[in-house]
């Protein structure tokens, strides 16, 4: 079958998809986006977490066909997604708009990258404005030592970014609850907590 | 300034003027790639025309294979080949220490999940379906599942005709290796003891549960060889096992490290390496194999489950007189690294204490249970759970504070191990215990937020039935390969001037598995060469072996190799400088020289040469090996010998809340203190300690591979094998001591494993304190706490 959907603001099409294939398989093996990870493929570890129409989901548990016509954000598009959100939030301080509509955020991300849709996501030289290469959560994970082997990192980043989107100043208990579906075997989670606290503080300061 | 910190230097040191040198929390060089999803793990690889490989595994733990029919599988559209034992081209067995494991089952399977056949197809699901259509006729055989069934009269011998080096002194052919250690006079000491405590303990089978599944891509080469892109812990030992199996000379089996999603010991043995290469060479197409989580539980060795019997005797004033212990490790169907695990379990069996009289026996069985081998802590974890429980029990008998009792018996530098080895570097055991005990306690329980209580969001208690407990433990782990093993690493360093700037290229075969070796390696090169630009060459087999990323050894060994090679490069810079510019400045002849900021500088800080001028267009390119000091094998009967390179110590204090009615445990805080000799990258050091601590917590209250009902694995999934989530993991405050070991590069001490040891017994001691139960087995389950 053919599946057509939007990934990181760009229209994508996958052909000859077998009905049993997961969204994760299509992203990784058919669309060349292996950033979402395949640690358990049974919805227990969260390392394949992506946003599906704004909702964090385990891509391994979503049949590829279910993504038809919908919007997906993966770790590869997180920086643009977060950048578009922050610009929208900044605009919102002058114009009163709904800040929780994530579909709008992806559309905004699209406008920054669509000018050169054939290049990789991180080379947006043709765009009029260079978006930052890293979302605040990505930079915070690097700065705090929250990345060791890094296999859980993409899913944690998506989940942590989604937490900060709805809860800009989370308590530790909020962070633990939001990230409880994401297993990490290396860090013992302490640095991950540090990273989310740091990203929250930086984002709040920047406003 | 903490004790043991290097004092402020009175003159410039090599590297002092460069940013990002040792001692700084330099960010990971692969951090951005990992945070953006661009880092290529072994499961992310793709090649035009590649096929997918899949393994058929045995549903039985012990059976004869009567016949295999691959016809139906082979006839499926999209299937390119099916291979069984009969199709193997050369050597049919492999193994880390003993080559006893068949690449594909040779007429007999010895454990549930043993590889029987492999398939290559154009889609992973096609490969899986084809594997399911292979018809194998099995005839089940009697099982060996524990010491009794392994050594009973008439027990099935799992590996008849053994010729390995341990066979001669193994008391039974189903015993892989046995190591006794005897010192002093236990019988006489027992007669003098005021208090004797004898108890049995048991440790369940723990899984490493790395997140990146076993995976890799094998690409057949035009020269008839193969290029394998792989996640492993030791490229060269993989190659040494692969080449005979493929029937190729070693130089035609080229391995390149791919991104590794954690290891913790589980990537020491081969998993899919030989299978992918065999399928690639057979089909002439690149072959990728990626295990799913289910297969991963069968695809690697686990931590040895153990049964331990301990007897401690002490005087009334709290001095340990003797320890007698027997440790039975279940090695499962194949040897893997069981002999070395036995050596560790035996030599570290009494913990970081001074005891003059010991009678120790450790052994590993062959059985039809899943093969067990390396996991973080490697034989020292099982012993630590038992000896620390004993220390608490003896202290209780004596009416002494458990920390005070430990401190009275704690070893110090100069102490003698049961093996007779003198501990010749700092051993701050009492100090580590003092530090974790001195920490302020976390605030009392009774929180209004259910998320802070046992049971958490399940909302099972609002504080009723919840009791707090506190427990302590300390452990000892060896660093590096022991018992006379020729343990070395290799580094190639190339220094040249590119675009006017000196650049160092560092090439090693070190497997970066997440621990941050790549970070400290760049720090070491910057330190030793005084250059800002350090480039790491991908790890591969085109350079000499780095040894294994295990035994807490890579910073010591490959870090040591880079330091050693950089020193040679530096000397060569000075030699060339003297040759060309020696007459220009007297400093070339008599000053101690440093490299800083691309210049040659005297110890007084005067610049006397420029790297760009000295090197010109020529590079300095040196490859050297580095060895730690030699060790000795343990004597087969007495266990005496200078067996270990270095020791590493960590202590924990656990604070837990237990819902005594439901048997639910919430670890509230797990504080650690560890001596690391020298923290080359403090952030990474703390990350290692917190990560190891959490794996120990997992063993204490959650993690066990359940093997039952015909030696079958019952819970091969993250649904049923639970590892700690962020909700299960408490705050882990860490105190780091830096007491230099003069034998080691920069005085450093291997960090990765020690925190995995004491974490488990500290948590269980805290649960005992809360419940008053004896709890001789880990993981502790709710039914153990509620007697249900």
CB < 8 Å to A189, chain B: 690, 694, 726, 729
User: Cβ distance A43 to A60 under 8 Å?
Assistant: yes
Q: Which residue of B has its CA nearest to A150?
A: B34
Given an 8 Å threshold on Cβ–Cβ distance, is A39 in contact with B725? Answer: no
Tell me the longest C-alpha to C-alpha distance in chain B.
Answer: 86
Q: Tell me: the pLDDT tens digits for B187-204?
A: 999 999 999 999 999 999
Residues 6+ apart with CB under 8 A from B448: none
In chain A, which residue ranges form alpha helices assigned H by DSSP?
23-25, 78-92, 102-113, 136-144, 153-166, 172-178, 190-206
Q: Tell me: the pLDDT tens digits for B95-153?
A: 999 999 999 999 999 999 999 999 999 999 999 999 999 999 999 999 999 999 999 99
CB < 8 Å to A181, chain B: 725
Given an 8 Å threshold on Cβ–Cβ distance, is B691 in contact with A75? Answer: no
| Residue A47, domain CATH | 3.10.20.30
Please tell me whether residues A124 and A141 are part of one structural domain: no
For range B357-382, the mean pLDDT: 98
User: Cβ distance A206 to A179 under 8 Å?
Assistant: no
Residues 6+ apart with CB under 8 A from B741: B425, B426, B646, B677, B747, B748, B749
Given an 8 Å threshold on Cβ–Cβ distance, is B32 in contact with A142? Answer: yes
Given an 8 Å threshold on Cβ–Cβ distance, is A176 in contact with B451? Answer: yes
Last residue of some domain: A89, A104, A128?
A128
C-alpha of B36 from chain center: 28
CB pairs under 8 A between A and B: 186
Q: Which residue of A has its CA nearest to B294?
A: A40
- For testing contact with chain A, the best of B25, B36, B455, B755 (most A CBs within 10 A): B36
Please tell me whether residues A154 and A98 are part of one structural domain: no
Given an 8 Å threshold on Cβ–Cβ distance, is A150 in contact with B27? Answer: no
Q: Tell me: the pLDDT tens digits for B639-655?
A: 999 999 999 999 999 99
Residue closest to B347 by CA, chosen among B759, B635, B55: B635
Per-residue pLDDT at A91: 73
Distance from CA of B688 to the nearest CA of A (A): 7
Per-residue pLDDT at A101: 41
Of all residues in chain B, what percent carry a pLDDT higher than 90?
A: 95
Query: CA B150, CA B179: separation in Å to the nearest integer?
Result: 18
Query: Which stretch of DSSP H or E encloses residue B624?
Result: strand B620-627
Per-residue pLDDT at A95: 53
Per-residue pLDDT at A98: 43
Per-residue pLDDT at B12: 72
3-state secondary structure (DSSP) of residue B591: coil
Q: Which residue of B has its CA nearest to A188?
A: B691
CB < 8 Å to B516, chain A: 148
Strands annotated E in B226-347: 226-230, 253-257, 287-290, 302-303, 306-314, 320-330
Give the tokens for residue B251.
């130089």
Per-residue pLDDT at B368: 98
Given an 8 Å threshold on Cβ–Cβ distance, is A44 in contact with B28? Answer: no
Query: CA B417, CA B761: separation in Å to the nearest integer?
Result: 21
Query: CA B494, CA B492: separation in Å to the nearest integer?
Result: 7
- Is B741's pLDDT higher than 90? yes
Given an 8 Å threshold on Cβ–Cβ distance, is B211 in contact with A75? Answer: no
Q: How many domains does chain A have?
A: 3
- Is B525's pLDDT higher than 90? yes
Report the DSSP pairing between strands B466-479 and B646-659: antiparallel
Please tell me whether residues A115 and A141 are part of one structural domain: no
User: Cβ distance A133 to A75 under 8 Å?
Assistant: no
Query: CA B389, CA B395: separation in Å to the nearest integer?
Result: 10
Given an 8 Å threshold on Cβ–Cβ distance, is A148 in contact with B687? Answer: yes
Domain range for A113? 79-128
- For testing contact with chain B, the best of A131, A150, A198 (most B CBs within 10 A): A150
Please tell me whether residues A160 and A103 are part of one structural domain: no
- Which of A47, A74, A150 is closest, CB to CB, to B39? A150
Peptide bond into A54 cis (omega under 30): no
Given an 8 Å threshold on Cβ–Cβ distance, is B718 in contact with A29? Answer: no
The CA angle B107-B109-B115, to the nearest 5 degrees, is 100
Given an 8 Å threshold on Cβ–Cβ distance, is B293 in contact with A40? Answer: yes
Torsion of CA B441, B445, B447, B449, to 10 degrees: 90
Please tell me whether residues A58 and A20 are part of one structural domain: yes
Q: What is the DSSP string of B59-108?
A: SSSSEEEEEEE-HHHHTSTTEEEEE-GGG--S--EE-SSS--EESS--SE
Per-residue pLDDT at A102: 40
CB < 8 Å to B37, chain A: 33-36, 74-76, 154
Residue closest to A47 by CA, chosen among A147, A137, A161, A156: A156
Please tell me whether residues A91 and A50 are part of one structural domain: no
Q: What Å distances lie between residue B741 and B348, B414, B435, B647, CA to CA?
A: 19, 13, 20, 10
Please tell me whether residues A140 and A201 are part of one structural domain: yes
Please tell me whether residues A112 and A171 are part of one structural domain: no
pTM: 0.95
Please tell me whether residues A176 and A155 are part of one structural domain: yes
Distance from CA of B690 to the nearest CA of A (A): 5
Of all residues in chain B, what percent carry a pLDDT higher than 70?
A: 98
| B203, burial (CB in 10 Å: exposed 0-12, middle 13-18, buried 19+) | buried
The CA angle A109-A111-A114, to the nearest 5 degrees, is 105
Query: CA B519, CA B508: separation in Å to the nearest integer?
Result: 13
C-beta pairs of B433-438 under 8 Å, 24+ apart in sequence: B433/B403, B433/B406, B433/B407, B433/B472, B433/B474, B433/B651, B433/B673, B434/B403, B434/B407, B435/B651, B435/B673, B435/B735, B435/B737, B436/B472, B436/B651, B436/B652, B436/B653, B436/B671, B436/B672, B436/B673, B436/B735, B437/B403, B437/B472, B437/B653
The 10 Å Cβ neighbour count of residue B719 is: 12
CB < 8 Å to A138, chain B: 35-36
Distance from CA of A111 to the nearest CA of B (A): 20
For range B462-482, the mean pLDDT: 96
- Which of A34, A134, A183 is closest, CB to CB, to B211? A183
Give the tokens for residue B291.
């295990």
Query: CA B648, CA B685: separation in Å to the nearest integer?
Result: 13
For range B144-167, the mean pLDDT: 97
CB < 8 Å to B32, chain A: 133-134, 142
What separation, in Å, do the N-terminal and C-terminal C-alpha atoms of chain A show? 46
Distance from CA of B30 to the nearest CA of A (A): 9
C-beta pairs of B785-788 under 8 Å, 24+ apart in sequence: B785/B658, B785/B660, B785/B663, B785/B665, B786/B660, B786/B661, B786/B662, B786/B663, B788/B663
- The list of chain A residues with pLDDT below 50 reads 96-127
Distance from CA of B692 to the nearest CA of A (A): 8
Query: CA B276, CA B265: separation in Å to the nearest integer?
Result: 21
Given an 8 Å threshold on Cβ–Cβ distance, is B36 in contact with A76? Answer: yes
In the sheet with A3-7, reading across from the earlier edge strand, the strands are A10-14, A3-7, A71-73, A49-52, A55-58
User: Cβ distance B502 to B534 under 8 Å?
Assistant: no
Given an 8 Å threshold on Cβ–Cβ distance, is B719 in contact with A44? Answer: yes
Report the DSSP pairing between strands B51-57 and B287-290: parallel
Last residue of some domain: A26, A55, A73?
A73
Per-residue pLDDT at A93: 60
Given an 8 Å threshold on Cβ–Cβ distance, is A149 in contact with B210? Answer: yes
Q: Which residue of A has its CA nearest to B208?
A: A185
Per-residue pLDDT at A114: 34
User: Cβ distance B132 to B116 under 8 Å?
Assistant: no
The 10 Å Cβ neighbour count of residue B281 is: 20
Per-residue pLDDT at A130: 76
Please tell me whether residues A83 and A122 are part of one structural domain: yes
Given an 8 Å threshold on Cβ–Cβ distance, is A188 in contact with B690? Answer: yes
Residue closest to B150 by CA, chosen among B190, B112, B110, B116: B110
Which domains does chain B possess? 3-38+488-627 (3.30.365.10), 42-141+213-260+267-299 (3.90.1170.50), 302-482+633-786 (3.30.365.10)
Given an 8 Å threshold on Cβ–Cβ distance, is B261 in contact with A74? Answer: no
Residues 6+ apart with CB under 8 A from B109: B58, B60, B61, B62, B63, B65, B116, B138
Q: Tell me: the pLDDT tens digits for A17-46?
A: 999 999 999 999 999 999 999 999 999 999
What b-and-e string marks burial along B50-71, b requiring 16 or more CB atoms within 10 Å of the CB?
Answer: bbbbbbbbbebbbbebeebebe
The CA angle B470-B474-B476, to the nearest 5 degrees, is 160
Query: CA A69, CA B380: separation in Å to the nearest integer?
Result: 55
Average pLDDT value over all residues in chain B: 96
């Amino acid at each position: 079958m053919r599946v057509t959907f939007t990934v990181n603001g760009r229209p994508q099409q996958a052909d000859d998809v077998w009905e049993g294939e997961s969204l994760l398989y299509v992203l990784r093996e058919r669309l060349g986006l292996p950033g979402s990870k395949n640690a358990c493929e049974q919805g227990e570890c969260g390392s394949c977490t992506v946003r599906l129409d704004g909702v964090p989901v385990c891509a391994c548990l979503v049949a590829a066909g279910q993504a038809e016509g919908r919007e997906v954000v993966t770790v590869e598009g997180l920086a643009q997604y977060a950048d578009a959100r922050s610009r929208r939030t900044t605009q919102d301080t002058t114009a009163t708009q709904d800040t929780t509509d994530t579909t709008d955020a992806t559309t905004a991300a699209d406008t920054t990258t669509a000018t050169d849709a054939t290049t990789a996501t991180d080379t947006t030289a043709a765009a009029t404005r260079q978006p930052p290469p890293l979302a605040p959560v990505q930079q915070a994970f690097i700065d705090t030592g929250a990345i060791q082997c890094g296999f859980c990192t993409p899913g944690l980043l998506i989940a942590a970014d989604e937490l900060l989107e709805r809860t800009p100043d989370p308590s530790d208990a909020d962070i633990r609850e939001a990230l409880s579906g994401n297993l990490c075997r290396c860090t013992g989670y302490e640095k991950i907590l540090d990273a989310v606290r740091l990203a929250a503080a930086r984002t709040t300061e920047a406003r | 300034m903490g004790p043991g910190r290097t004092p402020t230097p009175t003159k410039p040191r090599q590297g002092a003027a460069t940013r990002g040198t040792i001692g700084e929390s330099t960010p990971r060089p692969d951090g951005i790639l990992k945070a953006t999803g661009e880092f290529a793990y072994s499961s992310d690889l793709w090649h035009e025309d590649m096929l997918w490989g899949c393994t058929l595994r045995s549903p039985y733990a012990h059976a004869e294979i009567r016949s295999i029919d691959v016809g139906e599988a082979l006839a499926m559209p999209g299937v390119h080949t099916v291979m069984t034992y009969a199709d193997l081209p050369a050597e049919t067995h492999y193994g880390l220490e003993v080559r006893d494991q068949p690449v594909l089952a040779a007429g007999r399977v010895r454990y549930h999940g043993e590889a029987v056949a492999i398939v290559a197809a154009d889609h992973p699901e096609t490969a899986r379906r084809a594997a399911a259509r292979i018809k194998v006729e099995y005839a089940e055989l009697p099982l060996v599942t524990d010491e009794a069934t392994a050594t009973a009269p008439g027990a099935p011998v799992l590996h008849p005709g053994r010729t390995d080096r341990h066979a001669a002194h193994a008391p039974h052919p189903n015993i892989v290796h046995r190591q006794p250690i005897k010192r002093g006079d236990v019988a006489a000491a027992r007669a003098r003891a005021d208090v004797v405590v004898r108890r049995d303990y048991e440790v369940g089978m723990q899984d490493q549960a790395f997140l990146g599944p076993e995976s890799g891509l094998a690409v057949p080469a035009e020269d008839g060889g193969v290029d394998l892109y792989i996640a492993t812990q030791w490229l060269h030992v993989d190659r040494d096992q692969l080449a005979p199996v493929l029937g190729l000379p070693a130089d035609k089996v080229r391995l390149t490290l791919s991104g590794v999603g954690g290891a913790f010991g589980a990537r020491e043995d081969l998993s899919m390496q030989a299978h992918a290469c065999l399928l690639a060479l057979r089909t002439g197409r690149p072959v990728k194999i990626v295990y799913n989580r289910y297969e991963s539980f069968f695809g690697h060795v686990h931590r040895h489950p153990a049964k331990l019997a301990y007897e401690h005797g002490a005087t009334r004033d709290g001095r340990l007189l003797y320890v007698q212990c027997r440790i039975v490790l279940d090695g499962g169907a194949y040897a893997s690294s069981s002999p070395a695990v036995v050596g560790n379990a035996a030599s570290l069996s009494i913990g970081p204490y001074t005891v003059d009289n010991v009678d120790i026996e450790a052994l590993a069985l062959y059985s039809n249970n899943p093969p067990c081998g390396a996991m973080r802590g490697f034989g020292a974890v099982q012993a630590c759970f038992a000896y620390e429980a004993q220390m608490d029990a003896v202290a209780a008998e004596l009416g002494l504070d458990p920390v005070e009792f430990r401190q009275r018996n704690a070893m110090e530098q100069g102490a003698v191990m049961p093996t007779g080895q003198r501990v010749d570097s700092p051993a701050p055991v009492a100090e580590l215990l003092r530090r974790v005990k001195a920490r302020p306690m976390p605030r009392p329980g009774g929180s209004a937020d259910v998320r802070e209580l046992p049971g958490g969001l399940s909302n099972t208690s609002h504080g009723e039935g919840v009791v707090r407990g506190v427990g302590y433990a300390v452990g000892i782990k060896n660093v590096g390969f022991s018992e006379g093993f020729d343990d070395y690493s290799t580094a190639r360093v190339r220094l040249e001037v590119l675009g006017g700037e000196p650049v160092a290229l560092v090439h090693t075969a070190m497997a970066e598995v997440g621990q941050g070796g790549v970070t400290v390696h760049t720090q070491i090169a910057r330190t030793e060469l005084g250059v800002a630009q350090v480039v790491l060459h991908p790890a591969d087999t085109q350079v000499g072996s780095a040894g294994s990323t295990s035994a807490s050894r890579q910073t010591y060994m490959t870090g040591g190799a880079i330091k050693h090679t950089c020193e040679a490069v530096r000397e060569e810079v000075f030699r060339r400088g003297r040759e060309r510019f020696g007459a220009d400045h007297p400093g070339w002849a008599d000053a101690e020289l440093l490299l800083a900021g691309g210049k040659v500088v005297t110890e007084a800080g005067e610049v006397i040469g420029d790297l760009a001028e000295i090197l010109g267009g020529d590079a300095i390119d040196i490859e050297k090996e580095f060895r730690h000091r030699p060790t000795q094998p343990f004597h087969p009967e007495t266990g005496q010998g200078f067996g270990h390179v270095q020791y590493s110590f960590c202590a924990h204090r656990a604070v837990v809340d237990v819902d005594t009615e439901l048997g639910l445990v919430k670890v509230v805080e797990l504080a650690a203190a560890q001596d690391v000799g020298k923290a080359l990258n403090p952030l990474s050091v703390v990350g290692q300690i917190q990560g190891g601590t959490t794996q120990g917590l997992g063993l204490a209250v959650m993690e066990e591979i359940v093997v039952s009902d015909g030696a079958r694995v019952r819970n091969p999934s993250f649904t049923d094998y639970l590892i700690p989530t962020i909700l299960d993991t408490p705050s882990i405050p860490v105190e780091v001591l830096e007491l230099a070991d003069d034998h080691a590069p920069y005085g450093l001490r291997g960090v990765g494993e020690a925190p995995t040891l004491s974490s488990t017994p500290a948590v269980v001691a805290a649960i005992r304190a809360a419940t008053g139960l004896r709890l001789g087995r880990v993981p502790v389950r709710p039914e153990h706490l509620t007697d249900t």
